[in-house]
Amino acid sequence: FEDDAVLIPRETAWFGYYPDGAFNPVLPPQETKLYTEDWIGLRTLDETGRVKFVSVPGGHLRISRSDMKKYIVPYLTPSCGSSKQRIRRILSH
């Protein structure tokens, strides 16, 4: 979220962070130990094209319906018909 005032620094939403012992500059995720040492598998996922870094306007968790439909819905895979109907109902409002 481009105007996030909850996460400090807001780049932590993408796993970016400060270098050890400093508050400047903010490192992109690819330059953090979490990424380079692949602590949680982020580097592996990124190298295989399974990570998307998306930026949307707004504050913390304030995503528009159109951005939700564009960036989130394609990854939802309901396992039963009732879940699929609920998703459609939520997005139609």
Cα–Cα distance measured from residue 92 to residue 52, given in angstroms and rounded to the nearest whole number: 25
Is the separation of the CB atoms in 64 and 73 below 8 Å?
no
pLDDT tens, the chain, 93 aa long: 999 999 999 999 999 999 988 999 999 999 999 999 999 999 999 999 999 999 999 999 899 999 999 999 888 876 555 666 666 666 776
pTM: 0.70
